[in-house]
């Protein structure tokens, strides 16, 4: 026992020296990063006095941790502990706490992360975006170097390898080889799912198609329907079936079940043949063409329209073009987690700056593709611990097979974007934030003004959205000309939207007064239990017109081309 205790203390002493050395590497890294980013060209990288104080505090914490772990090893209560941030479950397994070696190792890592974060705040920065860039890079470095990600420092890996007599190591290597061949990390058992067989199964048919999209009309589920149909425009950055995963969590099926004749734009997953398409092409051949077909097919003057994420940006832009042409074809507009004001775009905006965009414009701006893999990696590293390192640990270190999960199957089914479209979008929306300014942008040959859109609008944002910050989505109440109802859902960008009414989970917040700023709005908002779907359905009924007999799919001009979900959504990016 004494020998084992001496060995543990010797290991801990070495580990402490190693981890303390990390502060020097962290300082060098942040100084080098600030110079490369042009953040500290005119100022010292770190204030010497601030750095000295930070180093002293770090050493004091390390010594307190060291003494606490030794005391715990001798049966005494710990006097100092470093706990992960709320929601961080990387060190929840008992193996991280049973051994003094790994107990110290994971807490020392957390101390180093704290030190790195505090150092970032001490570095000079010219503006908020520069500071956010440093925070993002520091977090990526800290997440990548976590002891959970390496076999030698992960006790869960060692325990499982011993229990399985090395089989978990073999399985992990095989998982790694398969993922290397695919070129991406497996997040789910993809063999379980097939688009059109057990996901995206709401009955309907493609009634129109062009180079950009297929238009799906869904079969009615009620004897009577609202006279005004509903056109849905999902994001083109992902596949539409996030809105139609399984029957019990399908927003599309819910829309139909509420007595709506639902049409949906299914964007094409572009190949090199579509690499020339630009923003105007997506407006003209997407929502503008779809609205024309829907009105002609259903013989109505006005329809209701809904856009999700960038689909909402595209839809609103198209409506502004139609408005400039004298066409008021939409009676009500619903926007789900949509940006119209790009002042604060969250961490996605950190990937888009003048230098990076100029490079993109030079390579794919006149033709070519922004690959699906680039987009998927960008979104994954916004939540690296959940969408990257979690699977590194489970798939490769533990040799586990990912569980079947429909949402993660969708998340892995990414889409390409035409280069001209992507560059125009990043330039004029993310970088210049021109859409919010009346008359600044010309689209499809006309100047647009979102303030001229006077139809009633339902705006949904989600409280934990890391892609569309809810405060930015709230700014749409200042831009659009119609009466706005703003609703704030719980959870994030996807889970907050795909929140089935039948499961009665989560909450949403309502407040009819949208004249205040976002913080004041939330402070006065009432929390409602359950899904926002029911609130939206009640609102939509007010703008849907009288009841009529359910419509059949298509007509003599727009005949069914193929069953839903159509072939466009089944095309995978290569």
- CATH of residue 273's domain is 3.40.50.1820
- Which of 123, 145, 167 delimits the end of a domain? 145
CB contact at 8 A, 555 and 231: no
336 with 458, same domain?
Answer: yes
Residues 138 and 223 placed together within one structural domain of the fold: no
Task: Clarify whether 236 is annotated catalytic.
Answer: no
Same domain? 223 vs 303: yes
40: pLDDT strictly greater than 70: no
Q: Tell me: the pLDDT tens digits for 112-150?
A: 999 999 988 888 877 788 888 888 989 999 999 999 999
Tokens at residue 297, please?
């097919």
Residue 481 domain-assigned? Answer: yes
Asked whether residue 1 carries a pLDDT value surpassing 70, the answer given is no
Largest CA distance in the chain: 89
Report residue 312's pLDDT band, with 50, 70 and 90 as the boundaries.
Answer: very high
Separation CA 71–CA 24 (nearest Å): 28
Mean pLDDT on 355-379: 91
Per-residue pLDDT tens for 166-219?
A: 999 999 999 999 998 888 889 999 899 999 999 999 999 999 999 999 999 999
Residues 351 and 454 in one domain: yes
Catalytic residue among 309, 329, 423, 484: 309
Do 123 and 208 sit in the same domain of this protein? no
How do residues 447-483 score in pLDDT, each as one tens digit? 999 999 999 999 999 999 999 999 999 999 999 999 9
Would 193 be classed as within a structural domain?
Answer: no
Q: Looking at the structure, do residues 338 and 479 belong to the same domain, yes or no? A: yes
In a domain, 214, yes or no: yes
Separation CA 531–CA 528 (nearest Å): 8
Distance separating alpha carbons of residues 172 and 356, to the nearest angstrom: 36
User: Domain residues for 348?
Assistant: 204-371+416-570
DSSP category for residue 220: P
- 141 and 208 in a single domain? The answer is no
H/E segment holding residue 488? strand 484-489
Is residue 23 a part of any domain in this protein? yes
* Residue 10 domain-assigned (yes or no): yes
Q: Is 364 helix (H, G, I), strand (E, B) or coil?
A: helix
Does any domain span residue 189?
no
pLDDT surpasses 70 at 400:
yes
Q: Are residues 341 and 454 in the same domain?
A: yes
Residues 442 and 306 in one domain: yes
Q: Mark which of 145, 160, 185 sits at the end of a domain.
A: 145
How far, CA to CA in Å, does 460 sit from each of 33, 337, 349, 540? 38, 6, 21, 13
Same domain, 115 and 224: no
**How many domains are there within the chain?**
2
- 483 within 8 A of 542, measured Cβ to Cβ: no
Contacting residues for 80 by C-beta, under 8 A, at least 6 apart: 61, 64, 65, 67, 68
Across 299-307, average pLDDT: 98
Q: What gap in Å lies between CA 410 and CA 178, rounded to an integer? A: 19
549 burial (CB, 10 Å; 0-12 / 13-18 / 19+) is: exposed
Residues 6+ apart with CB under 8 A from 456: 332, 333, 482, 483, 484, 485, 543
- Asked whether residue 409 is assigned to any structural domain, the reply reads no
For residue 26, name the pLDDT band (cuts at 50, 70, 90). Answer: very low
222: which 2 tokens? Answer: 């009620």
User: Is residue 79 a part of any domain in this protein?
Assistant: yes
Q: Are residues 476 and 349 part of one domain?
A: yes
End of a domain among 113, 130, 145? 145
Query: Who wins on pLDDT, 20 or 292?
Result: 292
Q: Are residues 421 and 538 in the same domain?
A: yes
What global pTM score does this model have? 0.89
């Amino acid at each position: 026992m004494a020998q084992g205790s001496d060995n543990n203390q010797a290991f801990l002493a070495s580990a402490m020296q190693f981890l303390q050395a990390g502060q020097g590497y962290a300082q060098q890294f942040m100084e080098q990063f600030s110079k490369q980013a042009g953040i500290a060209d005119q100022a010292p990288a770190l204030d010497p006095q601030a750095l000295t104080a930070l180093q002293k505090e770090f050493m004091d914490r390390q010594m307190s941790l060291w003494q606490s772990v030794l005391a715990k090893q001798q049966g005494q209560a710990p006097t100092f502990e470093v706990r992960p941030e709320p929601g961080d479950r990387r060190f929840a397994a008992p193996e991280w706490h049973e051994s003094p070696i790994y107990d110290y190792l994971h807490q020392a890592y957390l101390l180093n992360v704290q030190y790195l974060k505090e150092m970032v705040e001490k570095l000079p920065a010219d503006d908020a975006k520069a500071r956010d860039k440093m925070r993002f890079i520091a977090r990526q470095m800290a997440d990548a170097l976590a002891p959970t990600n390496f076999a030698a420092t992960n006790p869960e890996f060692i325990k499982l390898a011993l229990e399985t007599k090395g089989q978990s190591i073999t399985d992990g290597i095989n998982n790694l080889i398969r993922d290397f061949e695919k070129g991406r990390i497996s997040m789910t058992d993809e063999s379980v799912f097939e688009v059109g067989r057990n996901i995206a199964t709401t009955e309907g048919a493609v009634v129109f198609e062009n180079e950009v999209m297929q238009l799906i009309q869904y079969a009615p589920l009620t004897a009577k329907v609202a006279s005004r149909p509903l056109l849905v425009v999902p994001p083109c950055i992902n596949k539409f079936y996030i809105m139609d995963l399984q029957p019990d969590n399908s927003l599309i099926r819910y829309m139909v079940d509420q007595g709506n004749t639902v049409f949906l734009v299914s964007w094409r997953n572009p190949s090199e043949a579509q690499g020339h398409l630009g923003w105007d092409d997506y407006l003209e051949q997407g929502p503008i063409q779809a609205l024309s077909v829907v009105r002609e097919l259903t013989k109505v003057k006005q329809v209701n329209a809904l856009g999700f994420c960038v689909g909402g940006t595209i839809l609103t832009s198209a409506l502004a073009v139609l408005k400039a042409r004298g066409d008021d074809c939409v009676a009500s507009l619903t926007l789900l987690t949509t940006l119209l004001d790009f002042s604060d775009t969250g961490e996605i905006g950190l990937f888009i700056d003048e230098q990076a965009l100029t490079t993109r414009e030079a390579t794919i701006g006149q033709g070519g593709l922004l690959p699906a893999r680039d987009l998927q990696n960008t979104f994954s590293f916004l939540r690296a611990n959940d969408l990257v390192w979690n699977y590194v640990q489970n798939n490769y270190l533990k040799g586990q097979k990912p569980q079947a999960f429909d949402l993660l199957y969708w998340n892995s089914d990414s889409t390409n974007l035409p280069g001209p479209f992507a560059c125009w979008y990043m330039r004029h929306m993310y970088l210049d934030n021109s859409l919010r300014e009346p008359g600044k942008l010309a689209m499809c040959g006309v100047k647009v003004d979102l303030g001229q859109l006077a139809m009633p609008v339902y705006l949904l944002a989600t409280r934990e959205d890391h892609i569309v910050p809810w405060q930015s989505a709230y700014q749409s109440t200042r831009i659009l000309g119609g009466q706005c109802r703003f609703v704030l859902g719980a959870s994030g960008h996807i889970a907050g939207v795909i929140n089935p009414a039948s499961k009665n989970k989560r909450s949403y917040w309502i407040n009819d007064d949208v004249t205040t700023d976002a913080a004041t709005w939330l402070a006065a908002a009432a929390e409602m239990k359950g899904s926002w779907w029911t609130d939206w359905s009640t609102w939509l009924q007010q703008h849907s017109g009288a009841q009529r007999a359910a419509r059949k799919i298509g007509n003599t001009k727009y005949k069914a081309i193929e069953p839903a979900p159509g072939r466009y959504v089944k095309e995978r990016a290569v």
